[in-house]
Amino acid sequence: MDEVVDEPVVLPGQMQFQWAPDADSSGENRERSQSEEDNLSKPSMKKKAAKPGRKSKTAALVAVAAPAEKKTPPKKQSPAEQKQKLKSAGGKATAARKTHHGTSSEGVKTTDEPTASDVTSEDSAVASEPSVVCQEKTDQENVSQDVSKSTSEIASRQSYHEVMETIDLKWGARLPKVGFGFWKVEKDKTAEVCRTAIEVGYRHLDCACDYGNEVEVGQGIAQAVSDGLCEREDLWVTSKLWNTYHAPEHVQAACEKSLADLGLEYLDLYLIHFPIAQRFVPFERNYPPGWFFDPNATNPTIEEARVPVSDTWQAMEELAKSGLVRNIGICNFGTSQLRDLLSYAKIRPSVLQVETHPYLTQEKLKRYCDQQKIAYTAFSPLGAQSYFSLGMADPTEAVLKNPIVKDIAAALGRTAAQVLLRWGVQRGTAVIPKTSSRDRMDENINVFDFQLTDAQMNAISSLDQGRRFNDPGDFGEAAFNTFLPIYE
């Protein structure tokens, strides 16, 4: 048997480490109508050290939030001078945000910047001198309010990013505990949703070939970087190998296709999406290929291929060695499948991603991952919301409406979604909710300033029913004319 590699994977030119769409994808994290969609190791609160000669992020926050000194109102200003004052105030707020992200603020316009349209027009400013003085005072108050609102929003975004907990991986990488999932995000909204999520403070982006929107995610990333919201190195981008590309000769091409669509040179994490090998479908024939081998057939079915997971994993290891990906892992694997993979892996999986929520706590699988030092990421962390429109869950199964969850949320002054996500991160997992609503993006990421008591954690965990909503053994036959079980 080949010896297991226990040395860090080093990317060329990099520092060495030490150790899916619906008609409405507005979010899953509140009690809402059925048509609305949803939206390891050890936590780390470490922050990047400030670069020499530059203020730390905390100092920048203080500088931005510091109130301006009161000044004696000028006797009189022309409308042009009023506009210039407002423009200057917006520029200062923009510069403060750019300083926080470590990039130049030149030539960048922010949506938080006040505009000259807030100033009274020249025609309305040609009244008598007392009226002009009164208008000047009002304009100055408006400027102060606009700047206060702008800096408050900036500080909020910075706070989410600053307090984000992470999971330390074996090779020294840090996986943000709250990510943003793109499953079922509408394609025509994805680019803006992605950019907005980054602006709110998300740095962990969960993508996949099968979601059909990686091009648009890439556009959102590019816009966010161009706008100075982040650098590529600040992001953790995950993608997944689809079932039709399990044969070793197709693995690298599939990865490179995702990279090209995302507009990236490397992935932070690449996962085998399912422990299911399907018959190969060329890119030019159908991409993403989905579940049917030939969707235009009279009786379309899923056609499996005889490809051992060991062959696929060996090709995944080659991706890690090449530098195209920095970490490799698996999705939808159970304990037995994971144990078998570990028996032959030369590079061990960094992350396991599986469905997890209070109705499916997967305690044994989570404990086994902890034991093996494999990070654990929960998809569908809010439960059934994503599956109502697919006919894969009943509204009565909504975890968000569970009385125990609602009572805890009321006691804490939080939403049910925040309680569920806090339960996930507090038990040591990463969570990847999704939403198209900016308000809910804020809500979902704002879970690091409170804790659940042991009694509350246990009460939520006791809701476990073993209820799996995303099971190919159930939906395969109903939706794709093929019985395709992967769980006992």
Q: Which of 211, 270, 376, 387 is catalytic?
A: 211
Question: What gap in Å lies between CA 327 and CA 388, rounded to an integer?
Answer: 33
DSSP character string of 50-66: PPTTS--HHHHHHHHHS
Residue 353 pLDDT greater than 50, yes or no: yes
- Domain co-membership, 141 together with 177: no
Report if pTM > 0.75: no
Give a yes or no: residue 488 inside a domain.
Answer: no
Tell me the percentage of the chain whose pLDDT exceeds 70. Answer: 67
Residue 291's SS3 state is coil
Give a yes or no: residue 1 inside a domain.
Answer: no
* H-assigned helices in 123-163: 129-163
Which residue, of 146, 161, 176, is where some domain finishes?
161
- Domain co-membership, 274 together with 238: yes
Residue 448 pLDDT greater than 50, yes or no: yes
Look up 344 and say whether it is catalytic. Answer: no
Structural domain count, the chain: 2
Write the pLDDT tens digit of every residue in 299-327: 999 999 999 999 999 999 999 999 999 99
Residue 96 pLDDT greater than 90, yes or no: no
Which CATH number belongs to the domain containing residue 451 in this structure? 3.20.20.100
Element (H, E) at 237: strand 236-241
Q: What mean pLDDT do residues 468-487 have? A: 91
Backbone angles phi, psi at 12, to 5 degrees: -55, 125
What's the alpha-carbon Rg for the chain, to the nearest Å?
Answer: 25
Question: For position 284, what pLDDT does the model report?
Answer: 96
Tell me the percentage of the chain whose pLDDT exceeds 90. Answer: 61
- Domain co-membership, 380 together with 468: yes
- Residue 184 contacts residue 66 (beta carbons within 8 Å): no
Q: What mean pLDDT do residues 191-216 have? A: 97
Q: What order do you get walking across the sheet with 269-272 strand by strand?
A: 180-181, 204-206, 236-241, 269-272, 328-331, 351-355, 375-379, 430-431
Write the pLDDT tens digit of every residue in 100-131: 333 333 333 333 333 333 333 333 333 333 33
Give a yes or no: residue 17 inside a domain.
Answer: no
Residue 462 pLDDT greater than 60, yes or no: yes
Domain of residue 136: give its range: 57-161
Residue 86 pLDDT greater than 50, yes or no: no
